[in-house]
Structure 1
Amino acid sequence: MTRPAPTVLLVEDAPSLRTIYRSVLGAAGFSVHLASTAAEGLAAFHRHRPNIVLLDLALPDRDGLSLMREILALTPDVCIITMTTDTSVTLAVEAMRAGAYDFLVKPFEDDRFLSAVQSANAEMESATRAPPPRRRIAGSAEQAAFIGSSPAMARVQAILGQAARSMATIFITGESGTGKELAALAVHGRSHRAAGPFIALNCGAIPPDLLESEVFGHMKGSFTGAITDKPGAAAAADGGTLFLDEICEMAPHLQTKLLRFLQTSTIQPVGAVRTRKVDVRIICATNRNPIEQVRRGLFREDLYYRLYVVPIDMPPLRARGADVIEIAEAALRRFSAEEGKTFTGFSADTKAELLSQSWPGNVRQLLNVIRNVVVLHDGGLVTPEMLPSSLTAETSPPRSPHPAPTTGQTLAQIEREAIEQALARHGGSVPLAARELDVSPSTLYRKLEGWGMRRA
């Protein structure tokens, strides 16, 4: 019986390159499906379910990395080979960490191109004969946040299933590292919008003066540096889902525009004179207490009630009991396969040690610990001595470096004093001070500018 040809999805916006790549793959016996945009690519992926995806990272309607993350969230075992003209090492690292099987820099030779695809195909065929596959697993490792059978996660899964079928706005809360973006992806993937785009925007990672442009877009010449028209995240998410992470870091003036957007479903790019209507579902997330942010005047109360329709609270790892061991064991299997090593599991003492930790970094921290063990040891049974020496120190409650506030100080004075002391301890470094204070660097930059201070 003749075996079916391996299926490849090629997402490339340049017609000439699509023709060349399809010719090379066709001659090698691959069945190729074509797409020229991210939207077409996602629809084709749902339709054909290919084993291999060739993905250009510079697509006209969406960032290729976000599309890759969405595909991997839907089908973690698919092999995605990214292609770009950008020679940046940072981009390559980001793509591999996000789950890319391989990274090709254009222009590349036909032999290099075909070798990458054939290698991915061999991995997929090997996986069907002897799972689990030995492949790069950064994308599937992120799925670890949903591993576990604790009552806390059972409740989250039940809410996600119900919420996905609705059109309601979803507000996800939880500490850093608990899997808030993964929860948003799960809602999107189970909804009737799954074939549409999933656009994620971290409101805390973008300077306040650029955030409006990132959300709503801008017109050419609307400000210095606006050399072309740019569609914002809201326009890019038309027909799909817009995920606004760290929503409580959004500047007040932009909160007003977001509220108007939620009320009218229209956007007005910076510098535009006309509005346009878009069809977008909003999912937002924060690692803060949104009610407290409202009480402090940092988040609009009317916007809060507009967004807080279906709340989902991602539980911290310390509240999930034996899920810690289930996640650790799954991560150990995956990372061992990635590194080509053989680990037989965790000793009883190691399991006890893992269960005793408070895990302030939650699932993200646990994955880093397991990866550290796999990288630095050859295999066998994981004993407590193999765990990072800093684990206990990092997870034990820190001694507060802040003196008790002086009686009579206002909240603003106490806040400024705490920030200035943190900056002094870290030599004026805003990112390091922000990490200690558990706030976004953009929050500190905004406050320092308000005080007439500028720091690195």
Structure 2
Amino acid sequence: MKSKVLLIEDSTSLAVLYQQYVKDEPFDLFHVETGREAIAFIERNVPQLVILDLKLPDMDGEEILDWIVENQVPTSVIVATAHGSVNMAVNLLQKGAKDFLEKPIKADRLKTSINLHLQRAKLEDLVENIESRFDRTRFHGFIGGSLPMQGVYKIIDSVAPTTASVFIIGESGTGKEVCAEAIHRESKRRDKPFIAINCGAIPKDLMESEIFGHMKGAFTGAVTDRKGAATMADGGTLFLDELCEMDLDMQKKLLRFLQTGTFTPLGGMKEQKVDIRIICATNRDPLVEVEENRFREDLYYRVHVVPVEMPPLRERGGDIAILANHFLKLYAKQDGKKFKTISKEAESLLRRYEWPGNVRQLQNILRNIVVLNDDVRLNAEHLPAQIVPSKQTTTRQRPSSVAVNHERTPATLVHSSTPPHSMHPIDNGLDEANTETNADVHTNEMRPLDANTVIRPMWQIEREAIQQAIELCDGNVLNAAVLLELSPSTVYRKKQAWETEDDKNLV
């Protein structure tokens, strides 16, 4: 199968010229004119190479490079730049671009550069495959060689070549999508598309259209025909994340699709047949969902052929240090920082922490440390308060029982849409004998406030932050969730709860 190269160039005439240059080369050159089209293309089918123009009508090329790096898209980027922007191109090389081509691009230079980078990509894939077979500390997108992860790798090796349905179960942030992609890349469908859908981030009214597509006029706003994920994944793999979030009516339609391999687009009259492999995932206990009548039992038995249980980070032992070092060096390189190692004390603290947010939380903490500091070694003082217990008791001068409640507060804020005034008061576990001592502690903490200071409830600040992010992203909840570093299902659930509450207040 030919390699795919994506050309992002707003000049149609230049694009036609470049396509003419490489018409006899052993790869396919695709062309898009805007940044939005480029991101949509990459999300559907990742090319091996991207040729990126810096000046686009809707965004800077640098934004697209940042998006590729942030989302760890497995592709190489060549920057196309005018003579006066060479310094900018060099800066982009430091951010992750592999090369740059100076305009006007000559035919020989274009062909040589593309072929060189495609050969390098094939070599890197070969090395990764060899390492994944013999050095099991790295396996496709996974990093870590703990026993729980070795078990996951072995299941992937066994199930990938088959046609069996796979159900990945694990807490948020454990790498369920990475697991699904690894199965796809190990399967015979590796050269076909891998399409991922987050069922918790899509409104139930749009879910059928998202998966099966729709015809023009199927509903208000359907001005053209649109292919769904099932059509785009034909021949490849469709990954349905957070399946237990799917509406029961849609579960019934999905079950029929899985049984027959056929579907009818919304508003259509003719059935379509596709050949795809379905991989599902959830962060809930599917059997509990079945018992609570939120998940169809027949669908459960249809998709739960080979379960893969992703271990939480707290059970992966030495992988925590390996991952922390990997993210530290990755972000330091991206941001031009000095960080190279982690001290033994900091490493020990990282290992002892429970990691409720798993690998995603570890990523975010390391990213935060690198952004705010510029040292050679990560020490204990760089770590946030929830990881270093002494920071909670010493700097805040609080009793241990209060510190525990403080540590749990962020999880409550993230997962609850209920305003604080409707919550039950927290029992801090203090008896009357300790009342005087704790009064002294709180007295020491108090600081005189300016007369104009206003303390606002956290739920109000959270709501404003989420609403502003959604507005900034033109109503796209998925993009807003990425900016906020939250799960899309969490953002959508909160948004829906606020809208419901506002509707009740209007009545």
CA distance in 2, matches of 1:263, 1:383: 55
The 3-state SS of whatever aligns with 1:327 is helix
**Shift in Å at residue 333 of structure 1?**
2.1
Counterpart among 83, 87, 97 of residue 58 in structure 2: 87
Residue 246 in structure 1 maps to residue 225 in structure 2: no
Per the alignment, residue 48 of structure 1 pairs with none
**Shift in Å at residue 337 of structure 1?**
2.0
CA distance in 2, matches of 1:189, 1:268: 29
Counterpart among 193, 196, 203 of residue 197 in structure 1: 193
Change (3 A) 1:202 1:280: same
Which 10-residue stretch deviates more, 195-204 or 10-19?
10-19
Per the alignment, residue 225 of structure 1 pairs with 221
The 3-state SS of whatever aligns with 2:45 is helix
Per the alignment, residue 58 of structure 1 pairs with 37
Change (3 A) 1:438 1:32: closer
Q: Does the CA-based 8 Å contact 1:193-1:240 persist in structure 2?
A: yes
Per the alignment, residue 212 of structure 1 pairs with 208
What residue ranges of structure 2 are gaps of 5+ in the alignment?
A: 101-112, 125-137, 393-402, 410-415, 423-457, 468-480
CA distance in 1, matches of 2:146, 2:35: 39
Per the alignment, residue 255 of structure 1 pairs with 251
Which 10-residue stretch deviates more, 340-349 or 313-322?
340-349
Q: Does the CA-based 8 Å contact 1:239-1:279 persist in structure 2?
A: yes
Residue 426 in structure 1 maps to residue 404 in structure 2: no
Counterpart among 354, 358, 370 of residue 354 in structure 2: 358
Residue 300 in structure 1 maps to residue 296 in structure 2: yes
Q: Does the CA-based 8 Å contact 1:201-1:243 persist in structure 2?
A: yes
Which 10-residue stretch deviates more, 427-436 or 14-23?
427-436
Q: Does the CA-based 8 Å contact 1:55-1:80 persist in structure 2?
A: no
**Shift in Å at residue 450 of structure 1?**
8.3
Q: Does the CA-based 8 Å contact 2:313-2:355 persist in structure 1?
A: yes
CA deviation profile, 1:62-106 (whole Å, cap 9, x unmatched):
7323433xx6xxxxxx7645569562589745444224666989x
The 3-state SS of whatever aligns with 1:35 is strand
The 3-state SS of whatever aligns with 1:159 is helix
Counterpart among 374, 378, 385 of residue 378 in structure 1: 374
Matches within 5 A, 1:31-50: 33-36=27-30
Q: Does the CA-based 8 Å contact 1:56-1:64 persist in structure 2?
A: no
The 3-state SS of whatever aligns with 1:342 is coil
CA distance in 1, matches of 2:295, 2:30: 40
Change (3 A) 1:57 1:163: farther
Residue identity (%): 37
Q: Does the CA-based 8 Å contact 2:194-2:238 persist in structure 1?
A: yes
CA distance in 1, matches of 2:28, 2:98: 18
Per the alignment, residue 473 of structure 2 pairs with none
CA deviation profile, 1:333-373 (whole Å, cap 9, x unmatched):
22222223333411111111101111111111111222222
**Shift in Å at residue 110 of structure 1?**
8.4
Counterpart among 70, 78, 84 of residue 97 in structure 1: 70
Counterpart among 253, 262, 272 of residue 276 in structure 1: 272
CA distance in 1, matches of 2:161, 2:230: 21
Per the alignment, residue 44 of structure 1 pairs with none
**Could you say what the CA RMSD is over the residues aligned between the two structures, in angstroms?**
4.6
CA distance in 1, matches of 2:22, 2:34: 14
Change (3 A) 1:276 1:437: closer
The 3-state SS of whatever aligns with 1:312 is strand
Matches within 5 A, 1:265-414: 265-389=261-385, 391-392=387-388
**Shift in Å at residue 397 of structure 1?**
7.0
Residue 20 in structure 1 maps to residue 17 in structure 2: yes
Scaled by the length of structure 1, the TM-score of the pair is 0.71
CA distance in 1, matches of 2:22, 2:205: 46
The 3-state SS of whatever aligns with 1:189 is helix
Change (3 A) 1:439 1:18: closer
Residue 165 in structure 1 maps to residue 143 in structure 2: no
Which 10-residue stretch deviates more, 254-263 or 362-371?
362-371
Q: Does the CA-based 8 Å contact 1:204-1:441 persist in structure 2?
A: no
Q: Does the CA-based 8 Å contact 1:11-1:56 persist in structure 2?
A: no
Scaled by the length of structure 2, the TM-score of the pair is 0.65
Change (3 A) 1:252 1:111: farther
CA distance in 1, matches of 2:141, 2:6: 29
Residue 180 in structure 1 maps to residue 213 in structure 2: no
The 3-state SS of whatever aligns with 2:325 is helix
Matches within 5 A, 1:63-78: 63-68=41-46
CA distance in 1, matches of 2:151, 2:217: 49
Q: Does the CA-based 8 Å contact 1:448-1:454 persist in structure 2?
A: no
Q: Does the CA-based 8 Å contact 1:216-1:268 persist in structure 2?
A: yes
The 3-state SS of whatever aligns with 2:37 is coil
**Shift in Å at residue 329 of structure 1?**
1.3
Change (3 A) 1:12 1:336: closer
Change (3 A) 1:9 1:79: closer
Per the alignment, residue 442 of structure 2 pairs with none
Q: Does the CA-based 8 Å contact 1:201-1:245 persist in structure 2?
A: yes
CA distance in 1, matches of 2:284, 2:15: 46
Task: Give the structure with higher Rg (CA).
Answer: 2
Q: Does the CA-based 8 Å contact 2:8-2:52 persist in structure 1?
A: no
CA deviation profile, 1:102-143 (whole Å, cap 9, x unmatched):
6989xx8587699959954559999x9xxx9xxxxxxxxx98
**Shift in Å at residue 423 of structure 1?**
9.0
- Higher relative contact order (CA closer than 8 Å, sequence separation 6+): 1
CA distance in 1, matches of 2:140, 2:404: 23
Aligned AA (1:426): W
The 3-state SS of whatever aligns with 1:195 is coil
